[in-house]
Amino acid sequence: MMDKRSRGRNLISIKKHNRAVILNILRQRGPISRAEIARISKLTPPTVSNLVSELAGSEFIREIGAGDSYRSGGRRPTLLTLNPEAGYVVGIKIGVTLLEAILTDLEGRILHRAQTGKVAGENPGAVVDQLAGLVQSLLNQSNLPRERLLGIGAASSGVINSEKGIVRRSSLLQWKDVPLAQLIEERFPVPVFIENDANVVALAEKWHGAAVNESNVICITIGVGIGAGIIIGGELYGGSHHGAGEIGHIVVDRQGPVCNCGKRGCLEALASDGAIARRAAMALAERNLPASAWAHAAQKGPGAPQSNAATSVEFTADDVSRAAEAGDPLAREIMEETGRYIGIGIANIANLIDPEMIILGGERMGQSGHLLLAAVKGAVNEHLFSQPAAGLRIMPSRLGNDAWVIGAATLVLKEFFQPATHRLEKHRLDTKVTPAAKSVL
């Protein structure tokens, strides 16, 4: 059963591919004339005309009247535009404690949202039950014809075989070899795509956020874990074993603390949420300050039960962020030190990949973004070898916390607008096609 599932290798026809090419040009360049589409796509004008008529029939394309007349004084061409409401997609983030889902149109605009609390480590079947409930609630809210749902994209932490739709392993979710795409497809008869969560954040920024015009981008997510999505030549780079982007396990201090992965001194062991809380608790203890100074003041407010025993206080990275934002010098120093560790990790991969842009996202950026950003920039400038500091842009995510779900939805949009060319039917590619034959393929 499972080995038959290999959506990455499913072949597509040239016709389907050409349809996607036209829709993608409309998405990126519309409103646009048929002649311009033919020029950009290098398809023949009759092919474009035929496919446009077909796509207009299924409401994916709208005519919006005439454009500017030709300089030669010819007839003004009719302009075409993508109808973003002709299809809808669902994007899901499977977090450690939260499941989030959105319904978007073809341009990735969020139309409806749904979310629910999730028990960590809950078995995959139960989580899929919860997911199915969320998707159903989105569909009910939207009241859309079911046939307009093009697909579902889902993001989770861990090593994901996106071609086979399997979560190979996720230590945060405590899952191993879960055929997640298939489990969701059993509930909803649409294609389901899954991908690592840091990768979908990078995809979201490339399609809809800060990196729309960039080719080589690294997107770092900072929070419970630290991950990276890498875009090279405009495409997500997954690596040979779906393991690319594990920036959290770059060693930044050989004498550093032991990481979740069992090794010592990884970036994640020094700069993840858990590490921030640990370093903060140690810093307070060294100065004989009670942990409650931050935890209670920030989180529980006046009247909360007081405790002076540092060990008895549930101390989180959120507490440190809040204290830092309130101006506490020690908390600020801890956040800045966190930024410097992240900057060292970023300089290491920037030296290797030479990107145009680094985007910082994830929960911690949402809370202490400007403190982290300044410290990251300082450390990157210090450790970057080849580029002048101004050549590499480092910026916060433009999509913020929505990047996860928008990126998950984009998995479906990418398949719709840009099906991979290596999946074209080979015998057709091998055949020499005459221009006349091309128009009827």
In whole angstroms, what is the distance from residue 355 CA to residue 349 CA? Answer: 9
The residue among 403, 350, 351 whose CA lies nearest residue 199 is 403
- Smallest distance from the beta carbon of 272 to Zn ion, in angstroms? 10
Buried b / exposed e over 246-261, threshold 16 CB at 10 Å, is bbbbbbbeeebeebbe
| Contacting range for Zn ion; rule: CB under 5 A; set: 257-265, 279-287, 343-351, 422-430 | 257-265
CA-CA distances (angstroms) from residue 230 to 149, 187, 206, 306?
29, 32, 10, 45
Distance CA(415)–CA(25), nearest Å, equals: 14
Assess 266 for contact with Zn ion (CB under 5 A).
yes
Rule CB under 5 A: say whether 261 interacts with Zn ion. yes
- How far is 167 from 194, CA to CA, in rounded Å? 8
One residue of 93, 118, 249, 340 binding Zn ion per CB under 5 A: 249
Nearer to Zn ion, 209 or 248 (CB): 248
What is the nearest approach in angstroms of Zn ion to the Cβ of residue 251?
8
- Based on the shown chain and the rule CB under 5 A, indicate whether residue 236 belongs to the binding site for Zn ion: no
Task: Kindly tell me which residue out of 43, 152, 222, 259 binds Zn ion, with binding defined by CB under 5 A.
Answer: 259
**Least separation in angstroms between CB 274 and Zn ion:** 12
The span of 57-65, 131-139, 255-263, 388-396 binding Zn ion (CB under 5 A) equals 255-263
For Zn ion, give the closer residue by CB, 263 or 426: 263
Question: 76 or 263, CB closer to Zn ion?
Answer: 263
**Please, which residue, 102 or 276, has the CB nearer to Zn ion?**
276
Nearer to Zn ion by C-beta: 253 or 354? 253
Contacts with Zn ion by CB under 5 A: the residue count is 5
Distance in Å, CB of 259 to Zn ion, minimum: 3
DSSP 306-345: P---GGGS---HHHHHHHHHTT-HHHHHHHHHHHHHHHHH
How far apart are CB 258 and Zn ion at their closest, in Å?
Answer: 9
| Spatial strand order in the sheet of 78-82 | 32-33, 78-82, 61-66
For residues 257 and 264, the answer to whether their CB atoms sit within 8 Å is yes
| Residues that bind Zn ion in the complex, under the rule CB under 5 A | 249, 259, 261, 263, 266
